[in-house]
Structure formats: C-alpha cells, structure tokens
Amino acid sequence: MNNQFLSFVEEQMYLRRYAKRSIQTYLKWINSYIRFHGGQHPATLFDKDVEHFLSHLVSQKHVAANTQAIALNAINFLYKEIVKRPLSPDLRFAKSNRQQKLPTVLTVSEIGLLFKAINANYKLPAALLYGSGLRLMECVRLRTHDIDFDFKNIRVWNGKGGKHRVVTLSDELLSPLRSQIQFVNHYLSLDRSNPDFGGVFMPHGLRNKSPNACFTVGWQYLFPSKTLSIDPESKLKRRHHIDESSLRKAIASAQRAAKIDKRVGPHTLRHSFATHLLQNGADIRTVQDQLGHADIRTTQIYTHILQRGGNAVVSPLKNIF
C-alpha cells in the first residue's frame, strides 16, 4: 500500500503546486507515520494515533521543535487534503523543548581559506551564500533577472514562509555574475535549437500570462544544471537549476581541504554573514531584514556568539588581566 499511496499523495501535492523540496519532506514524514503504525492506512487512524506518533518523535527520536512542527504540518496535509478528515486543532502530544544550538560561524580568515579551496564551479554560488546571506535553496533558485546590477542588490522571491526581500550584492561579485549570465545565455541558445526543449520552469501565475517568457534569458536559472531533464509535473524537457546537494558537497569538500576544524555547510556561510555584519557595527534590525527573519529573536541568536556579547558587554575580567 505504501508506495502506491505515497505516489498518489505526491501527485496530489504537484497538482496543488507544492515545491519539489516540500513534497519530498512531506512524503518522508507521511511514510514515517505509516511505518510507525505498522503500515496501516491513515484513514483507519486519527487524532490519538497522530498524538502518539508526535510524542514518539520527542521521547524516542529527540527531535527539535522545528522538526516536530514540520512532521505535524505533513500529517495535517495528509488528513485535510488526502483523507478528507481534518485533525482536531487541539491535539495533545509531548512537545519538544530541545534547545536550539548556537550556530557555527567561521572567522574571516577561515572564510578566505574556504574560498581558496572550493571547486571553481561552485565558488560563485558559495560567495552569494556568504556575501548576501542567502539560504541554500534561495541561492540555487535565483533567476538571472533577480540580479540588479544598477542598485547592487538581489531580489529574493518566495523565500522561507513565501516572503520576498531585497538583499545586498557585493561589488566583488558584479563581474563574475555578468560572466555567469553570459554562460546562461550560451546554454539557452543551445537549448532553443533542441526541438524537445520546453523552456525553463515558470511560476504558475505567469505560465498563461506570459507563455514565451520561459524562453527568455531573464527567467533562466542563474546556476543551471549541466543537463536537461524531464519536469515531473509537466513532463516537458527543461534545464533545471543545479542540485543543492552538489553545492553542499562542494562546501564540505572545501572545508576538509582547507583543514578547517569546524562542521561547515551552506548555512554556516549565512550564519557567518550575519555575525560578521553585527561585528562590523550593522544594526540588528538591518541584519534581520537581510536574513528575512520574521521575528527579531531569531536574529538575536547571532549576538550570543560575538566576543563582546549581544549588547557590547565587556567582561570585567578585562580589568584584572
């Protein structure tokens, strides 16, 4: 039942225009929920069974609050949209109180070592993660027209929580980005000579409004995949963006090559961006806007890792040593 049922859920999520990553995440948790209950069909289960599963995630798996919330969202979707029997809004389950970890941050010198060691093919997207504080998926989903050379900023559309924002763009990246767009234009010329090419994936609202926009350079992904692939929703042949896992692996490989004794991933560069902005005197509200945080308390975590503390507090030990 599992594979056939999950395939149906996947199809329904595509029809509802969920992002590919969201579909993968929801399917993972729905599958875990079904397995936890011995393969029973979700229609035979309900509130108490969901409560049991969510409590299990905390008591046995020790998941963080955010992880438990994602699992709940997935199961909510399952019952509301697939089973057609919405869960009670008053579910009672053990909630995670696991403390959020302080982020890993690289020093400026470590950032330099990392960029010297990184594969040249991934240096520019990694530079945007650090230089503009982008999230991994925000970076790989950039379109060429999201780069504003006149005002030196990047427009981020539908970031976390579906929010839009404008972030800073370093002068040092202007020339590499122009070269990258020329590279994208070259790919597009080759693709348009392919009779099977269906254009780049377009946001749903623009597909009918601007049917030819998918063939323009402005809508092409800034970091395109090397190969064409079949769009699982439309079945058309398209050039997608680079796989996020390849950028993640390139950063991890660079960390090892640079002999940096910290666990480094794409989000480490975003953490470092925020921390270094605060170290250089940026206002925390400005950093909040750059990161796209809805709550300033999320941004304040970076003040905890600064040497002088969140409020520029100097340790009294300074007067003794």
Active site residue 270: yes
pLDDT at site 234: 87
Which stretches of the chain drop beneath a pLDDT of 70? Answer: 1-2, 305, 307-319, 321
Catalytic site includes residue 145:
no
Predicted pLDDT of residue 20: 81
Active-site residue, selected from the candidate residues 37, 145, 207, 267 = 267
- pTM of structure: 0.84
DSSP 8-state code for residue 81: I
The domains of the chain, with CATH numbers, are 2-82 (1.10.150.130), 101-311 (1.10.443.10)
| pLDDT on residue 316 | 66
The span from the CA of 19 to the CA of 138, in Å, is 13
Please pick, among 85, 160, 163, 186, the residue that the annotation labels catalytic: 160
Per-residue pLDDT reduced to its tens digit, 222-254: 999 999 999 988 899 999 999 999 999 999 999
Q: From 169, 127, 125, 131, select the one nearest 148 (Cα to Cα).
A: 169
Closest CA to 135 of 224, 248, 300: 248
**165 noted as active-site residue:** no
Q: Let me know how many helices (H) and strands (E) the chain has, helices first.
A: 13, 5
**Would you state the pLDDT for residue 182?**
98
CB atoms within 10 A of CB 141: 23
Q: Does residue 33 carry a catalytic annotation?
A: no
- Catalytic residue check, 302: yes
